[in-house]
Structures are given as structure tokens and as C-alpha cells.
Amino acid sequence: MRAKNRLNFNYDIKKDAWSWVLITKDKDMWGLNWRDQIAQIPDELLEEIEKVYFNCAQEIVEQYIEKDSKKEYTLSVMSFEVEALEKAWSLIEERYFEILSRVTQKPIFAEKFSCFFTTGSMCPYNEKENWFMVSMWHSIPFSITTICHELMHLQFLNYYKNYLKEQGCTEEQIEDLKEAITFLLNESEFDDIILSQDGGYPEHAELRAKLKNIWSKNKNFQNLLDEGILLVK
């Protein structure tokens, strides 16, 4: 019998600090306002992060979070959020993986994934270790969509990243396709799961609209991918 795909929820201060630094160092927000996405970082801490290397910056942020006077309160609130999101996700987990597999025309590539909470607002992922983040500031419906969004990224990259490289796509073009293709979460296939629409990034709005039109013709993922390659090149 096939093992059930499971998503584990948790909080890790090191990963939280990593996410703060990652977003601070990478200012390409595909049309979003960069400073708005790191609103939790005060100016003086931001200056410290920007003038040192990544690992050192991560240590600085970790110490900042550790010493925060509201840390214990934040962690208590987050523990309730973890429990609530885990229960909500369990209602649709199996169904989501079934649909994702069918839409991408591939079996789910891993049996275990991890979802970590962040005290920031952006939700990065780790492709090599199959984990991603959701924000403690977001609603449960929004976080459910984030989970679906990030799992789609991991599925997409695992099966199609090398194919896109073979077709001559650059890293930037692969990133654009990876982000734009989550328009699928707003399609009828996911109607039973998505309560909060997947908005995508402003810079991908036109590409998402074109991909949506392609999908509507035959709902074939490989065709969508091949047409998408032509669009981003």
C-alpha cells in the first residue's frame, strides 16, 4: 500500500531567521514593494543585516528574535495557529495531492513535506529538503493557498526543472514559469480546496493570463509547459 503523503507543521527559529535574511538580501519581489515584505524588521536591524554576509546576518536575526520581549507570547499564539492550520489542512490534504498529481501528470514525488511558520510575511521554500513556510500573520484560508502554492512549486521543480533547462530556459525563465503556473490553483480543478485565490506576483500577471488561456483549450500540463516555454523565451 502506498504511504500517505503527509505534511508536518512546526516552528524553527533558525529557519525563521533564515527567511528574514533571504528576503532582505534578495530585493527582486517581481513587482511587490520590497520594504513592505520585511515590515517586521526595524531600520537599525535592517542596516546590520545588509552590511554583513548571509550566515552572520542569520545569527544576528536569530539573536534578535530570541531576545524579543514578546517572544514567548508570539510562540504561544503561533502554537494555536499551528494546531488550527494542521487541522484545516487535514481536511483536504489527500484530495489536494490527488489533484496535484493528476494536473501535473506525475505522482507526488515525496512522501513527507514540512511546513514551518515564519514571523515574517514572505514564505520561501527549500527545494532540496522539501520544506516551505507560511506566515503567522496570514489567515487559515490564505495559508492553505500558500501550502498548495509551495507544494506545486516543489512538484514542478522536481519533475520539470531539468526538462526546462534542456529546452534552453534560463534560471530566470524557469522561475517565471514556476511562479506563473500557480494560476492553476484558481482553476476549476481546485475549486473544492482553494478558499483564498492565488494572486501571484504583479510582474507575472500577463504571463498567467496567457497560460490560463492555453490551459483552457485542452487542460494538458505538458502542452501548457511547452507553450509556456515559447512565451518566456
pLDDT band at 178 (very low <50, low <70, confident <90, very high): very high
pLDDT at 41 over 90: yes
Long-range contacts of 42-46, Cβ-Cβ distance < 8 Å, separation of 24 or more? none
Please list, in sequence order, all residues whose beta carbon lies within 8 angstroms of the beta carbon of residue 131, skipping any fewer than 6 positions away.
15, 113, 114, 115, 116, 125
What is the residue extent of each domain of the chain? 6-232
Mean pLDDT of the chain: 95
pLDDT of residue 3: 52
Q: Is 30 left (phi over 0), alpha (psi -120 to 50) or beta?
A: left
Q: What is the dihedral of CA 58, 61, 63, 65, to 10 degrees?
A: -130
Distance of alpha carbon 198 from alpha carbon 182, whole angstroms: 7
Q: pLDDT per residue over 76-125, tens digit each?
A: 999 999 999 999 999 999 999 999 999 999 999 999 999 999 999 999 99
In SS3 terms, the chain reads as CCCCCEEEEEECHHHHHHHHHHHHHCCCCCCCCHHHHCCCCCHHHHHHHHCCCHHHHHHHHHHHHHHCCCHHHHHHHHHHHHHHHHHHHHCCHHHHHHHHHHHHCCCCCCCEEEEEEECCCCCCEECCCCEEEEECCCCHHHHHHHHHHHHHHHHHHHHHHHHHHHCCCCHHHHHHHHHHHHHHHHCHHHCCCCCCCCCCCHHHHHHHHHHHHHHHHHCCHHHHHHHHHHHHC
Distance of alpha carbon 134 from alpha carbon 142, whole angstroms: 9
Q: What's the grid cell of residue 25?
A: 538580501
pLDDT band at 28 (very low <50, low <70, confident <90, very high): confident
Q: pLDDT per residue over 126-161, tens digit each?
A: 999 999 999 999 999 999 999 999 999 999 999 999
